[in-house]
Amino acid sequence: MEENSVITKNEALKRRSFLRYAGAGAALATLTIAGCNKDDDMPRHEDGEYFGSGDIAILNYAYALEQLEAAFYTKVADAPYSGISALEKSYFIDIRDHEIAHREFFKTAIGGSAIKSLEVDFSSVNFGSRDSVLATAKAFEDLGVSAYNGAGRLIKDSKYLILAGQIVSVEARHAALIRDLISNGSFADDTVVDMNGLDTSRSPGEVLKIASAYIKTKLNVKDLPNY
Amino acid sequence: MNLLNIINEIEHVDQEVHERLNPRRAALKGFLNFGTKVTAAAMPFALGSLFNKAYAQAPGDVKGILNFALTLEYLEAEFYTLGVAASGLIPSGPALGAMTTIRNHENQHVAFLKTALGADAVSKPSFDFTAGGAFADVFRNYDTFLALAQVFEDTGVRAYKGQAAGLMSNKDVLTVALNIHSVEARHASHLRQMRRSRGGAAANLKPWITGANDTGIGDAVNAIYAGEDNKSQAGVDITQLNGIGGKISASAATESFDEPLTAEAVLAIVKPFIA
């Protein structure tokens, strides 16, 4: 496990001590987003699951989003909506496995500085309804694409940037499929692609504001780079 | 481009406009100004610092990468423009609609990159989409056209991914490149679905890449998918991670991460299509 860690052991240990301050509050996440804080070696006393700072925080941010997606598709695959076709079911199993691969990859790569498993809240989703499941899947995939696109500029280490690039195109493939399942031909329509042919990007603050509706665990993202 | 002028006008009046512009707009502005021929000294402060960052850290690199991207976009734009215009090639209805959407995006990418590069933009090469006769019926046979469309998009995804690290010196250009990259991936996903619905060798094709060359097209496109069967990321063997009911499968491990390609590898792939 330690050998697999992308992050050095020292760095992981240094960050680990901060996790003691991270409360496991069950209240709905209240997010305070701060800009990139250079003074990142000071302990943080705020409540909430602490993401760390710099690239570690961005990796934890990706890890959080992948946890959310993996949990969602695990539920979809466990109890598919009524009338699901064999092809649709196989797609959802594939996507579930991709998101789990992403989640477990980040957990291993971040090592001791990884945030814990987040408690999710899908009470707004009707898992028995194809429309509700597809609408939520579309929201998550488009959000994921915009999150990775928007985080790229905040990443300092090129190897993390390339990893983000390797994942975001898979999320975009998911997004296009889900959109086509809702309405064939909407894979890249003008709700996500602008007049210059560019996809959407969102800052971590914008993304977490949307994602927090589905996350029960309180997050401490005050040192997460943002803009 | 009018947008460029508008933002410049605002900036002359209010030099702190960057702080109030939303990041997306600021990014667009920084990108659009990348290739303009103005000296740093003559530029308003915010714009000048963008320029200095771009040129001081990686002189030539960013521009070279953008011209590389422009060349790929020229190829895609002309391919779809000719395909959509070829009578009887693409079935009317959803297929023609999708190809028209993709054509429009590729032409938008060309226009955007040309504007950004200004006088430094390379000119469009002459293309031979038959690749010297290997795909002689590309604009007469829908399946040939679809096959080439898919491999062009999958190549484009790999190409942009391979250049991301080279653009880190200019965050605005990097963001634009990422925003193009994911659009190419959306295209690839849809084209793979379109090919699957045609059956035959593509009957089991998925929107994502399984293993290496999963196209059913044959060995001719092996280079485009070389390395996509990688199962290890940043030293982590994905097939050793826990999945549902066991470890992550080899298929899921390769599907869940797309792989970059170097510029050299991409140029070798597209060379047969440049007349």
Element containing residue B232 per DSSP (H, E):
strand B232-233
Among all chains, which residue has been given the structure tokens 């009338």? A83
* A217 neighbors A27 (Cβ within 8 angstroms): no
pLDDT in tens, chain B (275 residues): 334 443 444 444 444 444 434 444 444 455 544 444 333 333 333 333 333 333 333 444 899 999 999 999 999 999 999 999 999 999 999 999 999 999 999 999 999 999 999 999 999 999 999 999 999 999 999 999 999 999 999 999 999 999 999 999 999 999 999 999 999 999 999 999 999 999 999 999 999 999 999 999 999 999 999 999 999 999 999 999 999 999 999 999 999 999 999 999 999 999 999 99
- Asked if B117 and B38 sit in the same domain, the reply is no
Which residues of chain A from 126 to 155 reach within 8 Å of chain B, CB to CB? 145, 148-150, 152-153, 155
- Domains: count for chain B: 2
**Chain A residues close to B98, C-beta within 8 Å:** 185, 187
> Quick check: is A11 in a domain?
no
**Chain B residues close to A201, C-beta within 8 Å:** 24, 27, 175, 178-179
- Asked if B49 and B169 sit in the same domain, the reply is no
- How many Å is the Cα radius of gyration of chain A? 17
Which residue of chain B has the CA closest to A206?
Answer: B23
Q: Distance (Å) from the C-alpha of residue A213 to the closest C-alpha of chain B?
A: 24
Q: How many CA atoms lie within 13 A of B114 on its CB side?
A: 15
Which domain range does residue B13 map to? Answer: 2-57
Enter the ipTM.
Answer: 0.83
For the stretch A114-146, pLDDT in tens is: 999 999 999 999 999 999 999 999 999 999 999
For the stretch A1-41, pLDDT in tens is: 344 455 544 454 444 433 333 333 333 344 444 444 444 44
> Quick check: is A147 in a domain?
yes
Calpha distance A144→A153 (Å, rounded):
15
Cβ–Cβ gap A188/B244 under 8 Å? no
pTM of the model: 0.82
Does the CB of B197 have a partner CB in chain A at under 8 Å? Answer: no
Q: What is the CATH number of the domain that holds B122?
A: 1.20.1260
- Asked if B123 and B199 sit in the same domain, the reply is yes
Give the number of other CB atoms < 10 A from CB of residue B45. 12
Q: What is the distance, to the nearest Å, from the Cα of residue A51 to the centroid of all Cα atoms in its chain? A: 13
Considering CB atoms only, which of B101, B106, B236 is closest to A109?
Answer: B236
Cβ–Cβ gap A96/B165 under 8 Å? no
Among B25, B41, B57, which residue terminates a domain? B57
**Chain A residues close to B161, C-beta within 8 Å:** 162, 165-166, 169
Calpha distance A178→A164 (Å, rounded):
21
- Domains: count for chain A: 1
* B228 neighbors B258 (Cβ within 8 angstroms): yes
Phi, psi of B163 (to 5 degrees): -100, -5
Question: What pLDDT score was predicted for residue A36?
Answer: 43
- Asked if B191 and B171 sit in the same domain, the reply is yes
The string of DSSP codes covering B111-158 is HHHHHHHGGGPPPPPPB-TTTTTTTTTTTT-HHHHHHHHHHHHHHHHH
**Chain B residues close to A198, C-beta within 8 Å:** 112, 176, 179-180, 183
- Asked if B44 and B68 sit in the same domain, the reply is no
> Quick check: is A46 in a domain?
no
Q: What is the DSSP letter of B70?
A: H
> Quick check: is A40 in a domain?
no
Q: Name the pLDDT band for A103 (thresholds 50, 70, 90).
A: very high
* B169 neighbors B66 (Cβ within 8 angstroms): no
Cβ–Cβ gap B186/A200 under 8 Å? no
